[in-house]
Protein backbone atom coordinates (compact mmCIF):
# COMPACT_ATOMS: atom_id res chain seq x y z
CA UNK A 1 0.00 0.00 0.00
CA UNK A 2 1.52 3.29 -0.98
CA UNK A 3 2.07 6.04 1.53
CA UNK A 4 -0.61 8.39 0.26
CA UNK A 5 -3.36 5.78 0.57
CA UNK A 6 -2.26 4.84 4.09
CA UNK A 7 -2.36 8.49 5.16
CA UNK A 8 -5.72 9.01 3.47
CA UNK A 9 -7.20 5.93 5.16
CA UNK A 10 -5.80 6.96 8.56
CA UNK A 11 -7.25 10.45 8.13
CA UNK A 12 -10.76 9.10 7.55
CA UNK A 13 -10.45 6.53 10.33
CA UNK A 14 -9.61 9.47 12.62
CA UNK A 15 -12.70 11.28 11.37
CA UNK A 16 -14.94 8.26 12.00
CA UNK A 17 -13.44 7.61 15.44
CA UNK A 18 -13.84 11.26 16.45
CA UNK A 19 -17.44 11.24 15.21
CA UNK A 20 -18.29 8.13 17.23
CA UNK A 21 -16.58 9.56 20.32
CA UNK A 22 -18.48 12.81 19.84
CA UNK A 23 -21.89 11.13 19.61
CA UNK A 24 -21.26 8.75 22.51
CA UNK A 25 -19.73 11.54 24.58
CA UNK A 26 -22.77 13.76 24.02
CA UNK A 27 -25.01 10.92 25.15
CA UNK A 28 -22.91 10.60 28.32
CA UNK A 29 -23.31 14.30 29.18
CA UNK A 30 -26.73 13.58 30.59
CA UNK A 31 -30.43 13.52 29.81
CA UNK A 32 -30.28 16.63 27.66
CA UNK A 33 -28.21 14.81 25.01
CA UNK A 34 -29.15 11.21 25.82
CA UNK A 35 -31.38 11.09 22.76
CA UNK A 36 -28.21 10.78 20.65
CA UNK A 37 -28.11 7.07 21.53
CA UNK A 38 -31.74 6.51 22.53
CA UNK A 39 -30.92 7.08 26.23
CA UNK A 40 -28.89 3.86 26.36
CA UNK A 41 -26.14 5.24 28.62
CA UNK A 42 -24.59 1.85 29.37
CA UNK A 43 -24.03 1.21 25.66
CA UNK A 44 -22.78 4.78 25.16
CA UNK A 45 -20.29 4.35 28.00
CA UNK A 46 -19.04 0.99 26.72
CA UNK A 47 -18.76 2.20 23.12
CA UNK A 48 -17.07 5.46 24.17
CA UNK A 49 -14.39 3.65 26.16
CA UNK A 50 -13.83 1.04 23.46
CA UNK A 51 -13.47 3.60 20.68
CA UNK A 52 -11.28 5.76 22.96
CA UNK A 53 -8.79 2.87 23.04
CA UNK A 54 -8.80 2.94 19.22
CA UNK A 55 -8.30 6.74 19.36
CA UNK A 56 -5.23 6.23 21.56
CA UNK A 57 -3.88 3.53 19.25
CA UNK A 58 -4.32 5.80 16.23
CA UNK A 59 -2.37 8.54 18.00
CA UNK A 60 0.52 6.13 18.60
CA UNK A 61 0.46 5.06 14.93
CA UNK A 62 0.63 8.73 13.92
CA UNK A 63 3.54 9.29 16.32
CA UNK A 64 5.41 6.33 14.80
CA UNK A 65 4.81 7.64 11.27
CA UNK A 66 6.04 11.10 12.29
CA UNK A 67 9.14 9.63 14.01
CA UNK A 68 9.89 7.61 10.87
CA UNK A 69 9.60 10.80 8.80
CA UNK A 70 11.96 12.64 11.17
CA UNK A 71 14.53 9.81 11.42
CA UNK A 72 14.76 9.37 7.66
CA UNK A 73 14.84 13.15 6.98
CA UNK A 74 11.74 12.93 4.84
CA UNK A 75 10.80 16.52 4.02
CA UNK A 76 7.73 15.58 2.00
CA UNK A 77 4.59 17.29 3.28
CA UNK A 78 2.06 14.89 4.80
CA UNK A 79 -1.30 16.61 4.22
CA UNK A 80 -3.48 13.74 5.42
CA UNK A 81 -1.80 13.00 8.74
CA UNK A 82 -3.36 14.40 11.88
CA UNK A 83 -0.01 15.32 13.41
CA UNK A 84 3.03 16.48 11.52
CA UNK A 85 4.56 19.58 10.00
CA UNK A 86 1.46 21.17 8.51
CA UNK A 87 -1.42 23.27 9.80
CA UNK A 88 -2.55 22.92 13.37
CA UNK A 89 -0.52 19.76 13.95
CA UNK A 90 0.83 20.77 17.36
CA UNK A 91 -2.59 21.91 18.56
CA UNK A 92 -4.13 18.63 17.38
CA UNK A 93 -1.36 16.63 19.05
CA UNK A 94 -1.71 18.44 22.40
CA UNK A 95 -5.51 18.27 22.24
CA UNK A 96 -5.40 14.52 21.61
CA UNK A 97 -3.12 14.00 24.62
CA UNK A 98 -5.34 16.20 26.82
CA UNK A 99 -8.36 14.13 25.80
CA UNK A 100 -6.54 10.86 26.47
CA UNK A 101 -5.17 11.91 29.87
CA UNK A 102 -8.42 13.50 31.07
CA UNK A 103 -10.36 10.50 29.75
CA UNK A 104 -8.13 8.09 31.66
CA UNK A 105 -8.63 10.15 34.81
CA UNK A 106 -12.40 10.09 34.30
CA UNK A 107 -12.27 6.36 33.68
CA UNK A 108 -10.19 5.45 36.74
CA UNK A 109 -10.60 8.20 39.36
CA UNK A 110 -14.37 8.58 39.59
CA UNK A 111 -14.64 7.05 43.06
CA UNK A 112 -11.33 8.12 44.58
CA UNK A 113 -10.79 11.83 44.10
CA UNK A 114 -13.73 14.04 43.17
CA UNK A 115 -11.51 17.09 42.63
CA UNK A 116 -9.48 15.28 40.00
CA UNK A 117 -12.68 14.00 38.40
CA UNK A 118 -14.15 17.52 38.25
CA UNK A 119 -10.97 18.99 36.73
CA UNK A 120 -10.66 16.13 34.23
CA UNK A 121 -14.30 16.58 33.24
CA UNK A 122 -13.85 20.31 32.62
CA UNK A 123 -10.66 19.72 30.60
CA UNK A 124 -12.26 16.88 28.61
CA UNK A 125 -15.36 18.89 27.73
CA UNK A 126 -13.47 22.11 26.96
CA UNK A 127 -10.97 20.39 24.67
CA UNK A 128 -13.79 18.46 23.00
CA UNK A 129 -15.74 21.64 22.23
CA UNK A 130 -12.55 23.32 20.99
CA UNK A 131 -11.93 20.33 18.70
CA UNK A 132 -15.50 20.55 17.40
CA UNK A 133 -14.82 24.17 16.47
CA UNK A 134 -11.52 23.17 14.87
CA UNK A 135 -13.13 20.32 12.97
CA UNK A 136 -15.90 22.61 11.71
CA UNK A 137 -13.27 25.10 10.53
CA UNK A 138 -11.30 22.25 8.91
CA UNK A 139 -14.37 21.06 6.99
CA UNK A 140 -15.15 24.61 5.87
CA UNK A 141 -11.54 25.30 4.88
CA UNK A 142 -11.21 22.07 2.90
CA UNK A 143 -14.63 22.33 1.22
CA UNK A 144 -13.00 24.07 -1.76
CA UNK A 145 -11.94 20.62 -2.96
CA UNK A 146 -15.59 19.63 -3.25
CA UNK A 147 -16.75 22.93 -4.72
CA UNK A 148 -14.01 23.68 -7.24
CA UNK A 149 -12.84 20.18 -8.09
CA UNK A 150 -9.43 20.16 -6.46
CA UNK A 151 -7.93 23.59 -6.13
CA UNK A 152 -8.66 27.04 -4.84
CA UNK A 153 -9.40 29.66 -7.44
**Eight-state DSSP code of residue 141:** H
More confident residue, 12 or 74: 12
Are residue 6 and residue 74 in the same domain, yes or no?
yes
Are residue 73 and residue 26 in the same domain, yes or no?
yes
Final residue before a domain boundary, out of 81, 114, 138: 81
pLDDT of 153 higher than 50: no
Per DSSP, helices labelled H in the chain are 3-28, 41-71, 89-108, 114-142, 144-148
Are residue 96 and residue 151 in the same domain, yes or no?
yes
Question: Coil, strand, or helix at residue 34?
Answer: helix
**What is the extent of the structural domain holding 99?**
87-153
Are residue 73 and residue 102 in the same domain, yes or no?
no
User: What number of other Cβ atoms are within 10 A of residue 141's Cβ?
Assistant: 10
The rounded distance, in Å, linking the Cα atoms of 37 and 84 is 34
Q: Which of 5-9, 58-62, 149-153 has the highest mean pLDDT?
A: 58-62
pLDDT of 4 higher than 90: no
Tell me the pLDDT tens digit for each residue of 104-133: 999 888 777 788 999 999 999 999 999 999
Are residue 93 and residue 72 in the same domain, yes or no?
no
| Number of compact structural domains in the chain | 2
pLDDT of 46 higher than 90: yes
Final residue before a domain boundary, out of 40, 64, 81: 81
Are residue 40 and residue 65 in the same domain, yes or no?
yes
Final residue before a domain boundary, out of 30, 51, 81: 81
Are residue 74 and residue 3 in the same domain, yes or no?
yes
Q: Cβ distance 59 to 104 under 8 Å?
A: no
- Mean pLDDT, residues 126-149 taken together: 79
- Mean pLDDT, residues 13-26 taken together: 92
Are residue 73 and residue 40 in the same domain, yes or no?
yes
Per-residue model confidence (pLDDT) at position 91: 84
Per-residue model confidence (pLDDT) at position 87: 62
Are residue 63 and residue 107 in the same domain, yes or no?
no
Amino acid sequence: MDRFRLEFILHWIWAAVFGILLITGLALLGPRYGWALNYNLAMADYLHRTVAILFTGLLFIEILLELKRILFNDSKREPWLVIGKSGFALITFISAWLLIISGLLLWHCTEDDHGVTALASVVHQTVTFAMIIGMTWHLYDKSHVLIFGGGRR
